[in-house]
């Protein structure tokens, strides 16, 4: 069974929360989960920060849409995990060649170096000399 879950940054304190995604008709977005004491929690999150779990890991750390990784495989260098709206799947977009996306399953070793929300400077690629 797939582990479908999301993360988002709380609007009140900018902390990350992980769980089920709930979108209300009034354009408010929430993450719902149960904490370690089995208490039900519901936090409003910034919808721009919501990302889906990829079911992939960097060691013990879960990888989500919006994470920036370095990878070995069909390309080298940093890439962003994105949601392909046309084909309805997660993909990798290399930061150096943004005209083509790769299947997330072709990459063997991914190492998370940040995410687009906390580390936007990683999206800027310096020209190689």
How far apart are the C-alpha atoms of 73 and 34, rounded to whole Å?
Answer: 37
* CA-to-CA separations, 75 to 52, 67, 71, 94, in angstroms, rounded: 23, 17, 7, 8
Q: Which two tokens stand for residue 109?
A: 């070793």
Q: Which two tokens stand for residue 40?
A: 């039900």
| Higher pLDDT among residues 42 and 71, named by residue | 42
Supply the DSSP symbol for 117.
Answer: T
Domain regions of the chain by residue span: 6-48, 53-119
Task: List the one residue out of 37, 108, 116 whose CA is nearest residue 72.
Answer: 108
Residue 17: how many CA atoms within 13 Å on its side-chain side?
25
pLDDT, one tens digit per residue, over 11-65 is 999 999 999 999 987 889 999 998 888 889 999 999 999 999 998 888 889 999 9
pLDDT value at 129 more than 70: no
Cβ 20 vs Cβ 30: under 8 Å? no
Q: Which two tokens stand for residue 61?
A: 């750390």
Q: Which fold has domain 53-119?
A: SH3 type barrels. (2.30.30)
pLDDT, position 25: 79
């Amino acid at each position: 069974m797939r582990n479908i879950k999301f993360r988002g940054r709380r609007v009140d304190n900018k902390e990350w929360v992980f769980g089920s995604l709930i979108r209300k008709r009034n354009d408010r977005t929430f993450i719902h989960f149960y904490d370690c004491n089995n208490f039900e929690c519901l936090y409003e999150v910034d919808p721009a920060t919501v990302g889906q779990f990829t079911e992939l890991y960097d060691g013990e750390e879960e990888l989500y849409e919006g994470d920036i990784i370095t990878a070995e495989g069909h390309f080298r260098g940093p890439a962003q995990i994105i949601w392909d709206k046309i084909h309805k799947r997660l993909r990798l977009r290399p930061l150096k060649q943004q005209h083509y996306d790769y299947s997330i399953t072709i990459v063997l070793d991914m190492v998370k170096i940040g995410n687009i929300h906390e580390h936007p400077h990683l999206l800027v690629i310096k020209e190689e000399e």
